[in-house]
Amino acid sequence: MPIKTLQIPTPDGLADGFAAFPEHGGQHPGVLLYMDAIGLRPVLEETARELAGHGYYVLVPNLFYRYGPAPVVEVPGFIGQENRVELFGQLMPMVDALTPELALRDAGAYLAFLTSQPEVGAGPVGTVGYCMGGGLAMRTAAAHPELVAAVAGFHPGGLVTDAPDSPHRLAAKLTAEVHFGLAEHDLTPEGIAELGRALDAAGVDYSCEVYPGTLHGFTMADTAAFSPAGMQRHWERLLPLLGRTLGKG
């Protein structure tokens, strides 16, 4: 599948990123894919290519563009215990600085760019996120319910917090179908129950499951957390969700 590097206009400047889409031409349903905290790198290109191979135009922006183009920090080829602490020491200030207000300002720009691409057909789009991107996928769908028909978050972070604008508190604004695939310790049992109560009360069509034997980051093949079985289950949940809500390209 082709990969095209892009510059995405936002209210705060140009966000770099890339898109993957089917090579046979035509128009396809759009998917906004939110990166994990480690940022844009080959493993996300592979995920986007795989998704594009199933008939979708996949836009993957650099969420840290305010600090420079990706890679904003040097990312090792493999992330294990020996280099994880140092790497996240560089990344977490950028994660923390991406407030919900900034993220939603960006989200509107990303969606406007995605839906304006000639390869993207008319109709609803999906938001998919990994790690920090899971909460952002839900925030984006809640802010743009007229446009987003599918939300998926895998080993998501920050879904249930004490903040007044915690993503789970936005459930009533959703019109999308939702799936969350959790690693075993992503949320406490109490957090999972609170998330379920919020989604149930809002009447959201959703599924939320803990993928057995997984660690946070289980979809990322360049980390020690990678789980082939978890990644396979991720595809088994994500592709039918997008097929039901967006259709195939």
The CATH number of the domain covering residues in 3-245: 3.40.50.1820
Q: Give the single-character DSSP code of 126.
A: E
* Strand ranges in 40-161 using DSSP code E only, listed in sequence order: 57-61, 125-130, 148-154
Q: Give the single-character DSSP code of 145.
A: T
On whether the CB atoms of residues 91 and 84 are closer than 8 A, the answer is no
Cα–Cα dist 230/244, whole Å: 22
Cα–Cα dist 240/147, whole Å: 19
Contacts of 201 (CB under 8 A, 6+ apart): 171, 172
For residue 249, the model assigns a pLDDT of: 46
For residue 177, the model assigns a pLDDT of: 98
Taking the chain (249 residues) in runs of 10, the rounded mean pLDDT of each run is 93 98 93 98 98 97 98 95 94 97 98 97 97 98 98 96 96 98 97 98 98 98 98 98 87
Query: What is the rounded (10 degree) CA torsion for 6, 8, 12, 13?
Result: 40
CA angle 16, 178, 134 (to 5 degrees): 40
**DSSP SS3 for 142:** helix
What's the pTM value of the predicted model, to 2 decimals?
A: 0.97
N-to-C CA span, the chain: 13
Which tokens is 38 given? Answer: 């480690």
